[in-house]
Amino acid sequence: MPTGPAPLESDAWSRLWRAGVLHSCSTAIEGNYDGEIAAFWNARFNGLQAGQRVVDIGTGNGALALLAKGHAAQRGIDFDIHGVDAADIDPPHWASGATSFDGITFHARTRMEELPFEAGSVALVTSQYAFEYSRTREPALQEIFRIIGHAGTAAFLLHSSDSLISMTLRQQHEACALLFDETKILDLAHQWVSSLAGSPASSQGTAHIQHAFQSGSTRLVAAASALPEAAILRKAFHYLHATLEQAQGSPWQALQYLANARDDLENERTRLQHLAGAIMDLRELEVLHQHCIEAGYASSILRPLDQVAGSRMGWTLVVSP
Ligand SMILES: C[S@@+](CC[C@H](N)C(=O)[O-])C[C@H]1O[C@@H](n2cnc3c(N)ncnc32)[C@H](O)[C@@H]1O
C-alpha cells in the first residue's frame, strides 16, 4: 500500500472536525464539556457584560463558543463571540448534535499568532487545550496580550504532564509504533486483500501474506491487554475486522475501505504527535504564569483542574491585570 508523507497538523485537525465531533475529548466526555470544566468557563463568562467580545482560540468545532453563547442566553444577553482556528473549520456545517451556531463568527485557517482583532478590543480570550499547541508560544502570548489590552482577561485550560490525558498518551504512542512501524499491519492487510482481489502485491504468494498478516495480528492482540488506554489500537482492530469482512464479498471495496481507515489512523497519529508537543510540565506552567505577571497581568492565577477527585484534566491559567 503506498504510504505518502505524514499528514500536516492543520489537515489532521480539519479531518477530525469534519468528522463532526464537538470537541477533542469526545471519547471521554459526551456532549459538550460539563462539570468542573464547564464551571470554570461559566465563572469566566459571568464577568462579561452584554455585547462584549469573546475570542476562542483553537476553537475546533466551537464547543467553548457554544458554552459562551448558552451562558449569555441564560442571562438574556448576547456576547460578540468569535472562534478562531488554524484548521479549515466550519462548525455550522460539520459539528453534529449542536443546536445552533447563529451569532457566532468563525475564522477558519487563522493562526493564534496573528489574530484579526484590534488592540484592546477583546474582553475575554478563551483557550481550551489550544494555546499550548502553538509552535511559537511567545508570539501567540504577545498576540493575546495585544488584543486583551490592559482591561481584558485571557483564560486557558492547558494540557499538563500530570493529567489523565498525558498518562494515556504513552500507551497511544506505543500502539502507534506497533501499528505503523513494528507490525506494519495495514500494509500486510492491504497485501492480503490485494491478493484476494487477484493482484498479489508480492510474488511470495497468498499463503505467505496471510501468514504474515496473522502473525502481525496475533502480536497486536497480545500487546492490547497491556495497552488498555490506547484507543487508537481499538479503532485499528475495528477497521481491520471490517476490512476482512468486506473482503469476503468484494475485495476491491475492502481495499477502498482500508485506504480510508489508514487515512483516519494516520491523521490520528499526527494529532497525537502534536499533543505530545503541547503538554506542559509543571515548571513550564509556572514560568508562563510568572511571565504573565511580569507583563503587567498581576492578578493572574494558575490552578490545577480536576473534573472529579483524582481525574486531573490539566491546569487553568486566568490572565488578568
Ligand atoms: C485539541 S484541539 C482543541 C479544540 C477545542 N478548543 C476543544 O476544546 O474542543 C486544538 C486546536 O488548536 C488548533 N491549533 C493548533 N495550533 C494552532 C495555531 N497556531 N493557531 C490556531 N489554532 C491552532 C488545532 O487546529 C485544533 O483545532
Lining ligand 1 with CB less than 6 A are: 10, 13, 23-24, 57-60, 63-64, 85-87, 111-113, 128-130, 133-134
Mean pLDDT of the chain: 91
Question: Measuring CA to CA, which residue among 77, 60, 64, 7 is closest to residue 33?
Answer: 64
The residue whose CB lies within 8 Å of the most ligand 1 atoms, and thus the one to mutate among 24, 82, 96, is: 24
Give how far the C-alpha of residue 141 lies from the chain's centroid of Cα atoms, to the nearest Å.
20
**207 neighbors 179 (Cβ within 8 angstroms):** no
Calpha distance 85→7 (Å, rounded): 17
Query: Does residue 25 surpass a pLDDT of 90?
Result: no
pLDDT at 30: 52
Query: Does residue 293 surpass a pLDDT of 50?
Result: yes
Give how far the C-alpha of residue 69 lies from the chain's centroid of Cα atoms, to the nearest Å.
22
Share of the chain above pLDDT 70, in %: 92
Banded model confidence at residue 2, pLDDT cuts 50, 70, 90: very low
Calpha distance 139→217 (Å, rounded): 46
Amino acid at 266: E
Banded model confidence at residue 24, pLDDT cuts 50, 70, 90: low
**By mean pLDDT, which of 20-29, 110-119, 164-173, 213-222 is the weakest?**
20-29
The pairing of beta strand 312-319 with beta strand 153-158: antiparallel
Query: Does residue 107 surpass a pLDDT of 60?
Result: yes
Calpha distance 270→176 (Å, rounded): 10
The CATH homologous superfamily to which domain 7-163+279-319 belongs is Vaccinia Virus protein VP39 (3.40.50.150)
Q: Give the ligand 1 atom nearest the CA of 13.
A: 25
pTM comes to 0.90
Q: Give the ligand 1 atom nearest the CA of 10.
A: 25
Calpha distance 247→197 (Å, rounded): 8
Query: Does residue 82 surpass a pLDDT of 90?
Result: yes
CA of 114 to the centre of ligand 1 (A): 14
pLDDT tens digits, one per residue of 193-226: 988 877 655 555 778 888 899 999 999 999 999 9
Query: Does residue 31 surpass a pLDDT of 70?
Result: no
Q: 24 versus 139: which is more confidently predicted?
A: 139
Taking the domains of the chain in order of start, what are their residue ranges?
7-163+279-319, 165-275
